[in-house]
Structure 1
Amino acid sequence: MITFEDVTLTYPGASEPTLREVSFTVEEGDLAVVVGRTGTGKSTLLGAINGLVPHFTGGTLAGDVRVAGRSTAHNRPRDLADVVGWVGQDPRAGFVTDTVEEEIAYGMEQLGLRPAAMRKRVEETLDLMGIAALRRRPLADLSGGQQQRVAIAAVLAAQPRVLVLDEPTSALDPTAAQDVLSALTSLVHEVGLTVVLAEHRLERVLHQADTLLWLPQDTHGVVVGPPSRLLLTCDVRPPLAQLARALHWDAVPASVRDARRRVQREHLRVTAPAVVPLSTAPARVSVRDLTISYGSLTAVNRLSLDLRPGEVTALMGRNGAGKSSLLWALQGGLPSTGSVSVDGRDPRTLSAPQARRLVSLVPQTATDLLYLPTVAAELAQADRETGSQPGTAAEILSSLGSRLPPQADPRDLSEGQRLSLVLALQLCAEPGVILLDEPTRGLDYAMKDHLSRTVSRLAHEGHVVVVSTHDVEFAAASQRTLVMADGDVIADGPTREVLTSSPAFAPQTTKVFSPTAVLVPDEVRGAR
């Protein structure tokens, strides 16, 4: 179905190719997962399948890419639209209409389908993706996860033979992500759809993958093989791969079930670390009866909460539970009722520069805070806005472990680099409270480990750190976990207690060794 033959892709002005002499085949009806560290060319590889690369991005393509027998060299993306469906990292960038129903119908209109056929497919796709209740909602009013599901639905409605997805579950909660991947898997096995997707959170999709396409760092090539063998040697290490290495297994289990069976066969026993009590330090943030409403919709419902320095708090819950609304209210950026006190002051009553010194928020899309042409200009502007000595923001960026080219355009940076830059800009104001909304989107495992160490250091230095995340593996490194549902906090306690008692939010290591309350692979190293 998809064939790459000696493909080399070089972008304009680049000193070396992004892809070099790449050859592989994806058979019809396969689910192929593209993996690799950030910046290795995964999005370029995906874009080459439907001709976005190089027809839209520019660059020179040598070799041949063929999809269903058609060469992308002679067929532009619009010529392949009936064969290849594409879902990018940012669903908002692909929307062309105003409402959910209109967006799902739009692609079929462009293909000239009859109205009766379109109506039928719209209904089927709404049900398939579980978004029938959103059909008349404005796209701009949806959460990030809801927008991602609509973007996938809009592509599926056209019934392509090949579906290409760039991190399709990055904005979804664990349950919603599983629903989306289950729907894709059903299409693979029951309809014969060929799916190629890039995914940093391999724990969500590894058990369904037929083939792994690994892009090693610095080689610009692609290594193809079965997941169970390739993950033992590649530089991308999902939890089950870490577990296999920790236990010296000769293959990576494809699923939690396979791992549990091997643990039982080998009679492995582990001891869970003791639960660390939560901090009893005086609260720096105190919230009482906080309510946030959007018209008739209540996003946060009379919530009361205390946050203390020295702890990283993970904020979890399904899409639309109220997590982002809570963070923006704590920062003072959303109208709300009830009381909010940060070091004795209410951020809602302060000017933006004053509130920034109390609470800094890194939003879901870090680029929302970047508007200058170079990294150096952004850092200098942060120094001026906060009244800091020149070079302060640059020093903070260096302390975060990031060394970015001063003249680089922030929009050309990787997700991890942009996150580091925005975090440095926010820390320049020396806030006591740091809020991060879905910071691990687009980050590979190594970058998430680095971010985890960074937020732990900030908490150790006395900051209050709250991280809203759908990434249960990342949340496992926090001290406290809050779970929200319909605007209420439904669970609050030490992370080990909260995550290990929830099937939906349990990390993979927890599931493998349940009922023993372990969280991460390092806790079972040396098990006998």
Structure 2
Amino acid sequence: MIRFEDVSVTYDGAAEPTVAGVDFEVPEGELVLLVGPSGVGKSTILGAVSGLVPHFTGGTLRGRVTVAGRDTRTHKPRELADVVGTVGQDPLSHFVTDTVEDELAYGMESLGLAPEVMRRRVEETLDLLGLAALRDRPIATLSGGQQQRVAIGSVLTPHPKVLVLDEPTSALDPAAAEEVLAVLQRLVHDLGTTVLMAEHRLERVVQYADQVVLLPAPGAAPQLGAPADIMAVSPVYPPVVALGRLADWTPLPLTVRDARRRAAPLRARLADREPGTAPAATPAAAFAAPDTASGADTARSADTARRAGAASDAGMARRAGTASDAGTASGAGTADGAGLASGAGTGTGTARGADPASSAGTGTGTARGAAPASSAGTGTDTARGADPASSAGTGTDTARGAAPASSAGTGTDTARGAAPASSASTGTDTARGAAPASSAGTGTDTARGAAPASSASTGTSTSTGTGTGTDTVGVPARAVPAPRAASRPLLRLRRRRDAVPAEDTPLVAEVRGLGVRRDGVQALRGVDLTVAPGETIALMGRNGAGKSTLLGSLVGLVQPTAGQVRVGGATPHRTSPRELVRRVGLVPQEPRDLLYADTVAAECVAADQDAQAAPGACRALVSELLPGVSDATHPRDLSEGQRLALALAVVLTARPPLLLLDEPTRGLDYGAKARLVAELRTLAAAGHAIVLATHDVELAAELAHRVVLLAEGEVIADGPTAEVVVSSPSYAPQVTKILAPQRWLTVAQVREALA
């Protein structure tokens, strides 16, 4: 069904091919898994199947790729749309319509299917992916995981013969991931659909694969074989394989069930040992080879494609990576690195797999990385499906990825990645990553990564409680975290006496009775949470449970409708961003929302200036987290994992006492995850508190001292990691399931106990 014949791809300006010597075949009706470290070319290979590489991304493709007998060199993406369905790493880049049901129907409309057929398939897909309750919801109001399910559903409804999926479960909770993978397996087994999929969370998917293609390094020839054979030599492998290697099991197990059948002797050896009370240090060998810095494989169908110019043919089917902006004027090209196409051109569609954009204005650019805005003024571009923004001013530039901006002034610039700014003054600058700022003063600067400010005068922050003005944080460093339970979890877990902090321990953050209502949905209700210095907390729960909303409340992006939030003694949504950036920093789900400069060096200079740090502080962090990346590299040319490392360095430059991370392991291979864990452990040991929202149960087991489970906006469990995850069939890591009833969490713990 899919055939690669000695394929190599070299992107414009690259000295070496991103992939070379690719020669393998994917038979009809098989699920083939593409694995390898970050940056080795997985997304490039997937893009070559759909025709996005090179027709959309640019570059030079040598060799031949055929899909169902069609040569992708001579067939453009629109001519493969009835055969290939594609979902990239960024679900938002796929959406064309505004609501869930319309999005599921769009691909079938493009192919001219009968209305009765479309209705039946939409209903089937809503049920298959658990989306029925969301059918009328605006896509912009969904959580990241819900959006990912909608993106997958939108390519399932036209029933393509080939599915190309890039990290399809990266934003899904464990239960939702199992549902999606079960649907894919049913399509493969019952309908003969061919699936080519890249995924870093191998613990979720490797057992479903018929074959595995390993890309060991950039430019290296791929290896094709049975899953167990490839896992024996792969530099990236899941915990179940790592445990099998440690225990010398042959053949290596791929599932928890297989491993449990062989684990009795290992359990006996561990019977008289106890795992450490805190997460053990993680050697890189417990994961895999490091993230590759050179030859970075961007999600070319989503990121690099934005800079390759907008594709034509507005009626193109979305499943080949296309989008349609019918009747909307769009630019004739995409600015270098920009996420949107803007300009005075007419009738140009935006290829699906890139960020769809529409423009009702003339000659006004839309800044990269920020969310589109609509304007009642003149010269403002509006991106389709984005959060609406209103403006009575003229000449407002709104960056993609930013929340809606409202301004009654003139000449207000909203920086890329910034949250909504409301200002009655003139000349207010909002720096990237900043939360909403509301000010009646003049000349207020909002720092990147900071939260909103509300002030009646320039440079003054107001907080609830006693006193007005700037609050400072005096948090002593603690080498050992002191976890502290929320006061009202629905499920109270037994806490060890030594886990309770002293009464006089200062809290980095405190949430009491928090309620948040957004877009008619009660996102949080009655949430209590305390965060102590040096503590690492994992927020877990199904998609839409309220994890990102809770993080947004802590950084001031979300204003509470009930209860109280205090961070370093300040109320986030009422604190000056330049003050708040020294108390708390957020790395969002999409790291590129914080990145707007044209080079890594420029990003670092801006970060140093925003944080008022010594020159070179950010670059030193980048060198530690992202070795081998040059200053001249464009952030859009980094892999997902590399962009995350750069965004993390940008936020850490201010050394905030509280660090918030939203799905920090999306796009990370095991080696990159190991480096991230090591860096976060170092920060926690220095007294920084860390709160991360994640669906990665293995990350929580490795890193978190405490797990807080959310459901329907409420805290249902709060306690030490071992006590929470061991009792949960959904959130228990693989090692816990294999060695139950013993309470081991990670391979590193087992290795240490056997040493």
- TM range, smaller chain: over 0.9
**3-state SS of the aligned residue for 2:698?**
helix
Q: Which shows bigger deviation, 432-441 or 277-286?
A: 277-286
1:285 aligns with 2:509: yes
Q: Which shows bigger deviation, 262-271 or 418-427?
A: 262-271
Cα pair 1:402 1:420 within 8 Å, conserved: no
Q: Residue by residue, what CA displacement relative to the aligned partner does 1:240-261 show, whole Å, maximum 9, x if unpaired?
A: 1211111112322121111111
Q: What is the one-letter code of the residue matched to 2:577?
A: A
Q: Which runs of 5+ in 1 are unaligned?
A: none
1:496 aligns with 2:722: yes
The structural deviation recorded for 1:175 is: 0.6
Cα pair 2:565 2:571 within 8 Å, conserved: yes
Paired residue for 2:657?
432
Give runs of aligned pairs for residues 116-515 of structure 1, distance below 5 A.
116-264=116-264, 268-270=268-270, 271-276=273-278, 277-278=498-499, 280-281=501-502, 282=505, 283-336=507-560, 337-400=562-625, 402-477=627-702, 478-515=704-741
Cα pair 1:272 1:523 within 8 Å, conserved: no
Q: Which shows bigger deviation, 137-146 or 295-304?
A: 295-304
Among candidates 514, 521, 525, match of residue 747 of structure 2: 521
Q: What is the one-letter code of the residue matched to 1:455?
A: L
Q: Which shows bigger deviation, 369-378 or 162-171?
A: 369-378
Q: Which shows bigger deviation, 263-272 or 94-103?
A: 263-272
The structural deviation recorded for 1:150 is: 0.6
Q: What is the one-letter code of the residue matched to 1:495?
A: T
**3-state SS of the aligned residue for 2:677?**
helix
Paired residue for 2:73?
73
The structural deviation recorded for 1:399 is: 4.2
Paired residue for 1:45?
45
Distance in 1, Cα, partners of 2:540 & 2:58:
40
The structural deviation recorded for 1:274 is: 4.8
The structural deviation recorded for 1:476 is: 0.5
Cα distance 1:223–1:139, how it changes in 2: closer, same or farther (>3 A)?
same
**3-state SS of the aligned residue for 1:159?**
coil
**3-state SS of the aligned residue for 1:357?**
coil
Distance in 2, Cα, partners of 1:480 & 1:438:
17
Q: Residue by residue, what CA displacement relative to the aligned partner does 1:395-425 show, whole Å, maximum 9, x if unpaired?
A: 3333445453112211111222222222222
Cα pair 1:100 1:134 within 8 Å, conserved: yes
Distance in 2, Cα, partners of 1:35 & 1:511:
24
Q: What is the one-letter code of the residue matched to 1:19?
A: V
Q: Residue by residue, what CA displacement relative to the aligned partner does 1:306-351 show, whole Å, maximum 9, x if unpaired?
A: 1111121111111111100001101112110322222222222211
The structural deviation recorded for 1:267 is: 7.0
Q: What is the one-letter code of the residue matched to 1:446?
A: G
Cα distance 1:114–1:13, how it changes in 2: closer, same or farther (>3 A)?
same
Q: Which runs of 5+ in 2 are unaligned?
A: 279-497
Cα pair 1:290 1:302 within 8 Å, conserved: yes
Distance in 1, Cα, partners of 2:625 & 2:220:
27
**3-state SS of the aligned residue for 1:320?**
coil
Q: Which shows bigger deviation, 1-10 or 324-333?
A: 1-10
Q: Residue by residue, what CA displacement relative to the aligned partner does 1:371-413 show, whole Å, maximum 9, x if unpaired?
A: 1211111211122222222222223333445453112211111
Cα pair 2:247 2:266 within 8 Å, conserved: no
The structural deviation recorded for 1:279 is: 5.3
Cα distance 1:36–1:179, how it changes in 2: closer, same or farther (>3 A)?
same
**3-state SS of the aligned residue for 2:61?**
strand
Q: What is the one-letter code of the residue matched to 1:442?
A: G
Distance in 2, Cα, partners of 1:207 & 1:177:
13
**3-state SS of the aligned residue for 1:213?**
strand
Calculate percent identity across the aligned residue pairs: 53
Give runs of aligned pairs for residues 12-51 of structure 1, distance below 5 A.
12-51=12-51
Q: Residue by residue, what CA displacement relative to the aligned partner does 1:269-314 show, whole Å, maximum 9, x if unpaired?
A: 4244154553515222121111111143211111111111112111
Paired residue for 2:460?
none
Cα pair 2:585 2:660 within 8 Å, conserved: yes
Q: Residue by residue, what CA displacement relative to the aligned partner does 1:173-199 show, whole Å, maximum 9, x if unpaired?
A: 111111111111111111111111000
Normalising by structure 1, what TM-score? 0.97
Paired residue for 2:358?
none
Cα pair 1:7 1:22 within 8 Å, conserved: yes
Cα pair 2:31 2:210 within 8 Å, conserved: yes
Distance in 2, Cα, partners of 1:527 & 1:350:
50
When you count strand as a share of all residues, which structure comes out higher?
Answer: 1
Paired residue for 2:413?
none
Cα pair 1:227 1:252 within 8 Å, conserved: no
When you count helix as a share of all residues, which structure comes out higher?
Answer: 1
**3-state SS of the aligned residue for 2:744?**
coil
Cα pair 1:499 1:506 within 8 Å, conserved: yes
Q: Which shows bigger deviation, 513-522 or 266-275?
A: 266-275
Larger radius of gyration: 2
**3-state SS of the aligned residue for 2:596?**
coil
Distance in 1, Cα, partners of 2:197 & 2:71:
20
**3-state SS of the aligned residue for 1:492?**
strand
Q: Which shows bigger deviation, 470-479 or 424-433?
A: 424-433
Distance in 1, Cα, partners of 2:543 & 2:77:
32
Cα pair 1:275 1:494 within 8 Å, conserved: no
Q: What is the one-letter code of the residue matched to 1:460?
A: A
Paired residue for 1:114?
114
Distance in 1, Cα, partners of 2:56 & 2:49:
12
**3-state SS of the aligned residue for 1:205?**
helix
Cα pair 2:260 2:739 within 8 Å, conserved: yes
Give the paired residue count: 528
Q: What is the one-letter code of the residue matched to 1:305?
A: L
Q: Residue by residue, what CA displacement relative to the aligned partner does 1:90-123 show, whole Å, maximum 9, x if unpaired?
A: 1110111111111111111111111111111111
Cα pair 1:278 1:479 within 8 Å, conserved: no
Cα distance 1:194–1:460, how it changes in 2: closer, same or farther (>3 A)?
same
Q: Residue by residue, what CA displacement relative to the aligned partner does 1:503-522 show, whole Å, maximum 9, x if unpaired?
A: 00000111111111111112
Q: Which shows bigger deviation, 491-500 or 423-432?
A: 423-432
Say what the alpha-carbon RMSD is for the aligned residues.
Answer: 1.7
Cα pair 1:275 1:497 within 8 Å, conserved: no
**3-state SS of the aligned residue for 1:62?**
strand
Distance in 1, Cα, partners of 2:168 & 2:626:
28
Q: What is the one-letter code of the residue matched to 1:342?
A: V
Cα distance 1:275–1:101, how it changes in 2: closer, same or farther (>3 A)?
same
Distance in 2, Cα, partners of 1:88 & 1:401:
24
**Higher RCO (Cα < 8 Å, 6 or more apart):** 1
Distance in 2, Cα, partners of 1:32 & 1:198:
9
Cα pair 2:626 2:646 within 8 Å, conserved: no
